[in-house]
Amino acid sequence: DVKVTQSSRYLVKRTGEKVFLECVQDMDHENMFWYRQDPGLGLRLIYFSYDVKMKEKGDIPEGYSVSREKKERFSLILESASTNQTSMYLCASSLSGGRGFEQFFGPGTRLTVL
């Protein structure tokens, strides 16, 4: 069964803390993605990776960084958390291909920054 897991379902952090969100997929997918989802704004792409040790900025990368040291793991880092980063964070993975393949999503991490 296809599976994308995320390290926490709920997380509460203080302003200024460094926050790590972990995502692991067991489907041997090349591509991995980090989104945030906010009411009325839909899913917005933060960063994505098409290969190990490779990363590309999405639409809203400011305040975030990522790490992909192994094919199955993609980490999102908030260097200094701020209240406007309170959101639902969704990780996804997919196969590679010119037409774009189905993205499988993890259960999400609801992050609250106080």
The answer to whether residue 95 forms part of the interface with other proteins (CB under 8 A) is no
Tell the smallest beta-carbon distance from residue 107 to other proteins (Å).
Answer: 6
Report the residue from 8, 11, 58, 61 that binds other proteins according to the rule CB under 8 A.
Answer: 58
* Least distance (Å) between residue 23 CB and other proteins: 12
Residues 6+ apart with CB under 8 A from 60: 36, 44, 45, 46
Q: With contact defined as beta carbons under 8 Å apart, do 29 and 3 qualify? A: no
Strand order in the sheet with 4-6: 4-6, 19-25, 73-78, 64-70
Q: CA 64 to CA 27: how far, in whole Å?
A: 25
Q: Which of 7, 22, 27, 45 binds other proteins (CB under 8 A)?
A: 45
Neighbours of 63 (CB within 10 A): 14
105 binds other proteins (CB under 8 A): yes
Least CB distance to other proteins at residue 75 (A): 19
Query: What does the binding site for other proteins look like in residue numbers (CB under 8 A)?
Result: 33, 35, 40-45, 48, 58-59, 90, 98-100, 102-103, 105-108
